[in-house]
């Protein structure tokens, strides 16, 4: 069912785009379905220019002959289509399981609209059950980790951090050359204040809270796809 739901959400996003638009391409298992579908459309004459949010997505898009450019070459993007690890009733997201949160946020910030595609399991009443990825500089990373651990429980109900380890048993390194610590906050009580507190830590590059960025969410389950708007 998970495969079906993710594919259904990705397919629903196709109806949100038009030929000639400039698109941001997300990263992750659900976004991968969308890129595959877009590749089929491009092969049949659909016109677009796209900015990928990761090296992984870039490789996929190139294999499908999807035209790519860099973000600095465009004034703005029309739409970015991406997945989410959690999304609450206010359409605040947790993203970053794939390790591309920094680039994803940069690309999303330059889009007129952000469309999130996900299966229904990603909808939650309260953020935080899924660990929040926090991208940090490699320099003095242990010091940065300790500073994050000192963030008070005014914003969260728990604070346990774990350095993300890659498949090679070494610290996972993002496309930007940074580490990621996954924060097990249990429940996020105030996403906006938590965001500010994290960004005030000097070694934090970015975090996976996407606040006031998602405009449309296409959420799929056994009954079909439900469209939510902010």
Banded pLDDT at 152 (limits 50, 70, 90): confident
Class of domain 132-204: alpha beta
**Inter-residue contact 112 to 78 (CB < 8 Å):** yes
Task: For residue range 119-134, list pLDDT tens digits in order.
Answer: 999 999 999 999 999 9
Q: What rounded mean pLDDT belongs to the chain?
A: 96
Domain extents for the chain? 2-124+211-222, 132-204
- Active-site residue flag, 104: yes
Res 1: pLDDT = 44
Task: For residue range 60-85, list pLDDT tens digits in order.
Answer: 999 999 999 999 999 999 999 999 99
DSSP string, 70-108: -GGG-S-EEEEEE--SEE-TT--EE--TTS-HHHHHHHH
Task: For residue range 173-200, list pLDDT tens digits in order.
Answer: 999 999 999 999 999 999 999 999 999 9
Task: Name the CATH topology of 2-124+211-222.
Answer: Rossmann fold (3.40.50)
Q: Which residue out of 104, 135, 149, 170 is catalytically annotated?
A: 104
Which residues, other chains included, contact 59 with Cβ-Cβ below 8 Å and sequence gap of 6+?
A: none
Res 3: pLDDT = 65
């Amino acid at each position: 069912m998970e495969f079906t739901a993710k594919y259904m959400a990705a397919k629903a996003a196709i109806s949100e785009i038009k030929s000639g638009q400039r698109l941001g391409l997300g990263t992750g298992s659900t976004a991968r379905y969308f890129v595959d579908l877009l590749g089929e459309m491009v092969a049949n004459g659909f016109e677009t220019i796209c900015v990928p949010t990761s090296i992984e997505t870039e490789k996929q898009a190139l294999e499908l002959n999807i035209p790519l450019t860099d973000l600095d070459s465009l004034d703005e993007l029309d739409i970015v289509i991406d997945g989410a690890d959690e999304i609450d009733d206010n359409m605040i997201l947790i993203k970053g399981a794939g390790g591309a949160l920094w680039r994803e946020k940069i690309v999303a910030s330059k889009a007129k609209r952000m469309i999130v595609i996900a299966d229904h399991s990603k909808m939650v009443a309260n953020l935080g059950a899924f660990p929040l990825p926090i991208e940090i500089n490699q320099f003095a990373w242990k010091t940065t980790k300790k500073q994050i651990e000192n963030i008070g429980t005014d914003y969260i109900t728990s604070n346990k951090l774990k350095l993300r380890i890659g498949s090679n048993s070494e610290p996972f390194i993002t496309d930007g050359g940074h580490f990621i610590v996954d924060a097990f906050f249990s429940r996020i009580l105030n996403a906006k204040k938590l965001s500010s507190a994290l960004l005030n830590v000097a070694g934090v590059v970015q975090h996976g809270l996407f606040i006031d960025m998602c405009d449309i969410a296409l959420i799929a389950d056994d009954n079909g796809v439900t469209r939510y708007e902010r």
